[in-house]
Structure 1
Amino acid sequence: METCNKMEYQPINRLIIKMCLPPMISMFLQYSYNMIDSMFVACINEQALAAVSLSFPITNLMNSLSVWIGVGINVLIAGYLGQKRQDKANSVVTMGLILSLSVGIIVNIIVLLTMTPYYSAFTEDSQIFEYGCIYMQICAFMQVPNMVHIAIQKMLQATGNMISPMWFQIAGVVFNLVFDPLLIFGIGPFPEMGIKGAALATVLGYVLSMLISLYVLIFTKQKVKLKIKSFVFDFHMFKNIFGYGLPSFAMNVLSSLMITFVNLFLVTYSDTAVAFFGAYFKVQQLIFMSVNGLIQGCLPIMRYNYGAKKYERVNRTYHSGTAIAVIIMAVGTLLLVLFPRQILLLFSASEKMCSVGIPAIRIMALSYCFGGVSTMIATYVQAMGKIVPSMVIQVLRQGVLLFPLMWLLNNNFNIMGIWWSFPLTEFIVFAIAVIIVKMNKSQVKNI
C-alpha cells in the first residue's frame, strides 16, 4: 500500500472527508474576499456598497478564469497519476504555470481597458461610478497572483495533498481581513484610503497566497514537480487543460453573467435592490463555494479511480458526495430562511433594503438543495470525460433556462418574479440532470 496513492485504496467516506474539508475551507475563504470588502465598505455608505456589488461580476469572472485553468490541470494530473504516468503529470505542472501566468496578464489588461464602459452601462450615479472605477483600477492586478496560486492549489489537490492549498487561502484571507479596516479607515499608522484600501488589501492578500504556493511547489517535496530541462510544449495537453476545466468555468462564469443580467432588471427598480442582490449573492456564493470545495475534493478521487478502472470507487464517491452536498445546502437554506434580517445587517442594511431583501432571500434559498444535486451530477460526468452533458447542466442552471424564465416572471409578477425564477430554474435543471446521469450510467458500472 505504501507505493499506492491514497485515492486508490482508502475507505471512500474517510477519503472524502480528508480530501474535501480542506478545499471546502479554501473555496469558502477564496470567495470571502469580496464579502469581507463589502462588509467594511458598507460602513462608508450605500453607494460604496453598490459599487463593490457591481464589481462582483468582474471579479467573479476573473476567479472563474483561474478556476478554469486550475480544474483542467487538476483533472489531467489526477488522470495521469491514476495511469502511473508520472512524467506526463510533471509536464502538466509546467504547462499549467505557463498558461496561468500568460492568461493572468492578458485578463489584467482587458479589465483595465473595459471597466469604464462597464460601470457606465450599469449606473448613472456619479459617486457609484467613481467608487467602482477606483476599486477595479487596483483589483485588476489581483489576476496574475490569483491564477498562479489557484493553479498550484489544484496541482497539489490532484495528488491528494489538500492541506497545503488550504493554508495558501487562509494566509491571504487573514491578511485581507486584518488590512481591510486598517487601510479603509486609516487605523494606527496606516493612511485612510477608503475604497482604495479595500482593493489594495485584496490584491496583497492574493500576492501573499501566490508567494507561499510557489515556495511549497518548488522547495518542498511533492508528488508532482516542475519539469524544466526536457519540457516540450504539448498541444494535446494544452487543449485538454482547457477542455477538462470548461464545465467548472461555465459554472462560475455563468454566475457572473447571471448577476449582470439580474442587475439589468433590478436597476429599473432601485439602487437599493442592486445593493441588496450584490450583498445576498456573496452570502449565496459562500454556501455554493462550500459545495464547490466538496466537488474539488471528489473530482480528483473520481478521475483518479476512473483512470485506474476502479469503477465501484467512482460511483461510491459520487453517491457519498451527493449526500454531503444535500446536507450542506439544507443547512444553508435553513440559515437563510430563519435569519435573513441578521444576514443583511452584516452589510449595514437599511430598513428599505431589509424590506426588499428578506422575502427575496427566503424565496431564492429554496433552490439550494436542487442546485447541489445538479452540480454533483455535472461533476460526476465531468470526471468520466463527458464534457458536453456536464456543460449542459451548468449552462441551463445559470443561463439558457434562467434568463427567459426571469424575463417572463418579471413581466408578469414584477420584482417577485425575479426571485421566484431561481428555485423554478433549479428544480427543472435537477430533473434534467437526473435524466442525464441515467443516460450515462452505462459508462461506469454498478451505478
Structure 2
Amino acid sequence: MTNNTTHRDMLNGDIAQTLKSMTIPMIVGMLMLMTFSIVDTFFVSMLGTEQLAAISFTFPVTFTVISLNIGLGIGTSAIIGKYIGSGNAQHAKTLATGALMLSVLLVGIFAVIGILSIEFIFTLMGADESLMPFIKAYMVPWYLAGIFLAMPMVGNSVLRAFGDTKTPSIIMATGGAINVILDPILIFGWGPIPALGIQGAAIATAIAWAVCVVWILYLLAVKRQLIESRILRWAEFTIAAKGVLKIGLPAAGANMLTPIAGGVLTAVVATYGTEAVAAWGVGNRLESIASILVLALSMSLPPFISQNYGANKLSRIKTAFHIAAKFVVVWQLVVFAALAICSSYIARIFAEEASVARDISLFLCIVPLGYGLQGIIILVNSSFNAMHKPMSALVLSILRLFAFYVPIASLGSYLNGLEGLFWGCVIANVLTSVLAYAWFNRNLKNEMALQVAMPVFGSEK
C-alpha cells in the first residue's frame, strides 16, 4: 500500500512538492555521510602536512571505487523505476537482487587489482616516496571498505527507485555518524586501542559500512521484501546483470572518468609542491559538502524521471528538470558567496601552514563560482541515465572532462599558475553546462514529438 501511494505521487502528484519531499531527506543523509570525508581530512591534517597530502592523493582513486558503485546504482534505479512505472514490480525485484550480487563481484575484483597496483598508480599520479607509506596504510583497508560500500549504495538505489528517499538517508547518516565517532579513536588511540594514524581513518570507514551492509540486507530481503532472499541462479543473474549493466556500465564509466581527470589535474597540481596538493585535496573534499543539494537532486530526480518515463509522461519530466536546474543555479551562487566570504576562516581550520591555508582560500574564492553550472551538467547526466540513454551521459562526461575540464584547467595552469588552473575549472563548467542544457532539451523535445507522432503501445491500450 505504501509503495502504491508513493508511485501514484511520483506519477501524478505536484511536481515541485514531490521533488522537495524526496530531496530533503537525501540532503540530510548525504550531509551526514559526507562528513566522514571532511572528518577524515580534518583529523588526518592534525597528523601533519605529509599525511594530509597523502590522503589528498587518494581522493581520485577512492572516488573511482565510489563511482563504480554510483554507476551501478544509477543503472539499478533507472531500470527498476521504469518497470515500476509500467506496472511490473516482480521483475524489478529480481533485477534488484542481481544488481546487489553484481556490485559485490565487480567491486571485489576492482579492490584486488587496486591493492596490487597501489605503488604503480600513485607514482603515476606524482606521489613521491616519502608519501607512499602513508598512502599504502590508508588504501589497503579502504579497498576492503569499498566492498562493504557496494551493497548499501546499490541497495539504497533500490529503495529510491520505489520512491523511498528517507530510509536511504537514515542509513547514510548512520554510516557517517559511526565513522565520525570511530575516527579520533582509531587515528589517535584511546585506552587499549593503539593509535593507528592515517590507517585508522580507513578502518573507521570499513567498520561503518559493514554495519550498513547488515542493515540494508535486512531491510530489502526481510522487512520490505524488495529483493529475493536467496542467491539467484546463474541464468537469472545473467539476465538481471545484463539489464543493469546496459545502463550501469556506461554510467559507471562516466562517473569513473571524473577521478581519472582529477588524477591528471592532481599530477599538475603536484608540480607546485606538497602544500598545493594538500590544499587541492581539501578543496575537492569541501566541494562535496558545497554541492550537497546538487548531489541530492541527482539521486532524487532520476527515480521520478524513470517512473514517469515508464508511464510515458514526458511533460512531467520536462517540468521537473527545469525546476531542479533553476533552483540549483541560484542556490549554488549563494553557496559560492558564503564560501568566498568565509574562505580564510575555513582555510585555517584545515591547515596550520600559511602556504597551504593561502592555497585553500584561493580555491574557495574561485572554483565554487562554477558549482551551479556544474550542477546543470550533473542533472543532465543523471536525467539521461534515468531515460535509458546512458551513452549520451557517457559522451557528455567525456566531452566535459577531456574536451573542456582537463585541457582548459591545464592551459590556465600554464598561463597563470595555480590561480589560472582554478579559473580554468570555472570556465570549463560554463562551456560544458551550455552544451549539456541545450542537448538535453533538444533530446526531450524530439522524444515528445515522437510520442505525439507515434503513440506508444501503452498509450494505445
The TM-score, its normalising length taken from structure 1, stands at 0.93
Q: Does 1:173 align with 2:204?
A: no
- For 1:233 and 1:430, the matched residues in 2 are separated by 40
SS in 2 for 1:269: coil
1:290 is paired with a residue of what secondary structure? Answer: helix
What's 1:144 paired with?
147
Q: Given the alignment of the two structures, is residue 273 of structure 1 paired with residue 303 of structure 2, yes or no?
A: no
Corresponding position: 1:10 with 2:31: no
- d(CA) in 1 for partners of 2:67, 2:194: 32
How far apart are 1:123 and its partner, in Å?
4.9
- 2:322 is aligned, of 319, 322, 330, to 319
Q: How many residues align?
A: 446
Range moving further from structure 2, 15-24 or 101-110: 15-24
State which drifts further: 74-83 or 394-403: 394-403
Measure how far apart 1:212 and its partner are: 1.1
Aligned AA (1:18): S
**Which residue in the other structure is 1:100 paired with?**
103
User: In the alignment, residue 206 of structure 1 is paired with which amino acid?
Assistant: W
2:161 alignment partner in structure 1: 158
Of stretches 380-389 and 70-79 in structure 1, the one that deviates more from structure 2 is 380-389
In structure 2, what is the equivalent of residue 329 of structure 1? 332
Residue 179 of structure 1 deviates from its aligned partner by: 0.8
Q: Structure 1 residues 229, 153: CA separation in 2 closer, same or farther (over 3 Å shift)?
A: closer
* 1:67–1:249 CA contact under 8 A, matched in 2: yes
Q: Give the one of 307, 311, 321 matched to 1:308.
A: 311
Alignment partner of 2:348 out of 345, 353, 358:
345
Q: Which residue of 1 aligns with 2:62?
A: 59
Matches within 5 A, 1:78-117: 78-117=81-120
* 1:9-408 paired onto structure 2 within 5 Å: 9-123=12-126, 125-222=128-225, 224-226=226-228, 228=230, 232-233=235-236, 235=238, 237-246=240-249, 248-250=251-253, 252-408=255-411
Q: Distance in 2 between matches of 1:254 and 1:344?
A: 28
Match of 1:423 in 2: 426
Give RMSD over aligned pairs: 2.3
Q: Tell me, in whole angstroms, the C-alpha distance in 2 between the residues paired with 1:124 and 1:382.
A: 35
CA distance in 2: counterparts of 1:307 and 1:174, whole angstroms: 37
Query: Counterpart of 2:81 in structure 1: which amino acid?
Result: A
Q: Write the letter of the residue equivalent to 2:46.
A: C
Tell whether the 8 Å contact from 2:221 to 2:228 is kept in structure 1 after alignment. Answer: yes
Q: Are 2:45 and 2:350, in contact at CA under 8 Å, matched by a contact in 1?
A: yes
TM-superposed CA distance for 1:229, in Å, is: 8.7
Residues 250, 391 of structure 1: 8 Å contact kept: yes
Counterpart for residue 457 of structure 2: none
Would the aligned equivalents of 2:400 and 2:428 in 1 still touch at CA under 8 Å?
yes
What letter matches 1:226 in structure 2? E
Name 2:455's counterpart in structure 1: none
Please report how far the alpha carbon of residue 45 of structure 1 lies from its aligned counterpart in structure 2 after TM superposition.
Answer: 0.5
Residue 454 of structure 2 aligns with which residue?
none
Alignment partners' CA distance in 2, 1:76 and 1:24: 24
CA–CA separation in structure 2 for the residues paired with 1:65 and 1:374: 19
Give how far 1:340 is off.
1.1
Please name the residue that 2:456 is paired with.
none
What is the distance in 2 between the residues matched to 1:221 and 1:409?
A: 52
Q: 1:140 to 1:10 in 2, by over 3 A?
A: same
**Residue 289 (structure 1) shift:** 4.4
> Residues of 2 paired with 1:16 and 1:291: CA distance?
12
- Once residues 27 and 337 of structure 1 are traced to their aligned partners in structure 2, the CA distance between those partners, rounded to angstroms, is 23
Query: Which one-letter code corresponds to 1:185 in the other structure?
Result: F
Q: Please give the per-residue CA displacement for 1:232-291, whole angstroms capped at 9, x wherever unaligned.
A: 426554233123235643553222112211121112111100000001000012233431
Distance in 1 of aligned mates of 2:154 and 2:359: 39
- SS of the aligned residue for 1:444 comes to helix
User: Which one of the candidate residues 434, 447, 454 is aligned to 1:443?
Assistant: 447
Is contact 1:184-1:192 (8 Å) kept?
yes
- Asked whether the 8 Å contact 1:276–1:353 carries over to 2, the reply is yes
How far off is 1:124 after superposition? 5.9
For 2:97 and 2:157, how far apart are their aligned partners in 1? 13
| Maintained 8 Å contact 1:48/1:195 | yes
How far apart are the structure 2 equivalents of 1:358 and 1:11? 42
Deviation at 1:138, TM superposition (A): 1.2
2:448 maps to amino acid: V
Distance 2:439 2:267 in 1: 32
**Counterpart-to-counterpart distance in 2, 1:340 and 1:330:** 15
Q: Map Cα deviations across residues 84-141 of structure 1 (whole Å, 9 max, x no partner).
A: 1122101111111210121121112011111122233345644421111111121110
AA in 1 matched with 2:227: K
CA distance in 2, matches of 1:217, 1:236: 20
Report the Cα distance in structure 2 between the residues aligned to 1:112 and 1:172, rounded to whole angstroms. 24
What letter is aligned with 1:443? E
* Shift in Å, 1:332: 2.3
Distance 1:289-1:252 versus aligned 2 partners, 3 A rule: farther
Contact conserved, 2:72 with 2:251, CA < 8 A, in 1? no
Q: Which residues of structure 2 form unaligned runs of 5+?
A: 452-461
Match of 1:411 in 2: 414
Residues 145 and 210 of structure 1 are in contact (CA less than 8 Å); yes or no, is this contact kept in structure 2?
yes
Aligned to 1:31, the other structure's residue is in SS state helix
